[in-house]
Amino acid sequence: MKRIWLVWLLMLVGATTQATERFLLQANPGQYQALTQVLQHHGVKPALALPAHEAAAVYLTPADVAALRGHPALRWLETDVKRYPMSLPQQAPYGIGLVQADVAHLGSNFDSASGNLLVCIIDSGYDLTHEDLPSATVQGVSDPGGAGDWFVDDLHHGTHVAGTLAALDNSVGVLGILPGGQVGLGIVKVFDGDGWAYSSSLIAALDACRQLQAGRRLVVNMSLGGILSSRTEDRAFADAYKAGVLLVAAAGNDGSSRKSYPASYASVISVAALDEAKQIASFSQHNSAVELAAPGVGVLSSVPVGTALLGELNQGGHLYKALPMEGSPLASRTGSLVDCGQATTPCLAAGQADGGQGGLCLIARGSISFADKVLNCQAGGGRGAIIYNNVDGDLNGTLAGVVTQIPSVGIRQLDGLSLLAVVGQSAQLAVTQGDYAYYDGTSMATPHVAGVAALIWSRHLGCSNAEIRTALGSSALDLGDLGRDSFFGYGLVQAKAADDLLSADCGAGAGGDGGSGGSGGGKGRNKP
């Protein structure tokens, strides 16, 4: 016994210069104090003592480990393995692949020349402190009329747009169309928290973008609009287009055929919104000015730090896409799943679950408001509400100002049906704060097109703005009616197809110079 101790002590002293690693030591019953006293006497201090478990975490060298394995008080020794937050790693939102703006389509370093471009975002500002957004290549112009500093985004809108355009490839958050951190960003703030500005402010913002241009190619993103046109505004955009600026704007979210401006000016590319299945969004405006379509439903991107509500739903290790109900309190709950039907009355079964501790209400959409469903879950004793859709697609709901005490989320119909099959089993539900959020709108589709335009232009700097515009239309994936139509325009914008088209000649696929009604592309011949 003494020989074992002596060998161990000599090895311990001789190993002080060796690299250490963290281990968990489990003592034999009743031997915890004996083991820790020896460690302490010879300078090995526990990193974390766990006396209730007769265990301790310590840093040991390889020699320590070899000697300690023979210790009579030691039951076992194992690596103190690491645990990580169960947050999602960096991901590419579905729209990046859908518009072919990724490594799989364009190869590595595909945006390495984007420093020759300035993408100017006329919007509500930009969170300069966000971990996933560039800072070194960003310039901004504040609104002297009252919207405030460009690096503050009270509306959250501009930061979301910027993330789709340029979120960094940095292992966190999301990826943008131009993720290399090279592209210049110009931020011109026109909106404050109230979310509106005058036509004159938009004209001044366009002028500010041109002042920031500094000899670079300029793409202007305008995820904004209104139903009335302005002759002065029209002329300003026409002049900028003639001067070589490429202009991109949102078609509008009325779900009607009414035109929106500046998108419907002839000098501007009007962008409609579609979903992950390439179906037109129900809210997307449709008219003769629509030129291109891009992802605009459930788009994940950056928002000002700490301003997003994030939903998390885990059942049996499977993570479901859960969108928090607008107005949901922040909370984390674990409980058995309980089928509450449509929860048109208090769900008493939820309160009886888990020995009266309360389960998680699984609720079908329909009949009554989301807020009433959540209140009926709460009244029955439920600890959290999971509302599943009654149609395909995400469920992005609101409590409409009704105060509730339990977390609530919306999920897809298929996910709800899947969870119905495991009612009675445990699940984890949480609504937390975060830096990323899912938004809907032609506002979200617009930066996909502006980003692709900038990306392709950076790879073909000899092309004019009109030639880039033409190529985007000619190479678009034709959806809906054959050829250009009022819903999709020429179709879904495609970076790889446009790049291939322009690799031969900037004039390849030319189909006009912009013309009336925003025509700027060919026939959209890339029919699936």
Enumerate the active-site residues. 123, 157, 443
Give the DSSP H or E segment for 333.
Answer: strand 331-339
Q: Tell me the residue type at 513.
A: D
Of 139, 125, 127, nearest to 208 by C-alpha is 139
271-295 per-residue burial string, b: 16 or more CB within 10 A, e: under 16: bbbbbeebebbebbbbbbbbbbbbb
Alpha carbons 248 and 294: distance in angstroms, whole number: 12
- Structure token pair of residue 110: 């595909």
Alpha carbons 281 and 410: distance in angstroms, whole number: 19
Of 216, 145, 172, 133, nearest to 447 by C-alpha is 133
Q: Tell me the residue type at 47.
A: A
Please give the distance of CA 499 from its chain centroid, rounded to a whole number: 26
Work out the burial of residue 120: count CB atoms within 10 Å of its CB; fewer than 13 is exposed, 13-18 middle, 19 or more buried.
buried
Check: CB of residue 424 under 8 Å from CB of residue 315: no
Q: Is the dihedral of CA 35, 40, 42, 48 positive or negative?
A: positive
Nearest-5° angle of CA 226, CA 232, CA 233?
40
DSSP-derived secondary structure for 351-373: HHTGGGT--EEEEE--SS-HHHH
Check: CB of residue 228 under 8 Å from CB of residue 198: no
Alpha carbons 513 and 229: distance in angstroms, whole number: 22
- Structure token pair of residue 484: 């250009």
Per-residue HEC secondary structure of 180-208 comes to CCCCEEEEEECCCCCCCCCHHHHHHHHHH
Of 86, 82, 80, nearest to 56 by C-alpha is 80
3-class secondary structure, 388:
strand
- Structure token pair of residue 521: 């592309």
Check: CB of residue 407 under 8 Å from CB of residue 370: no
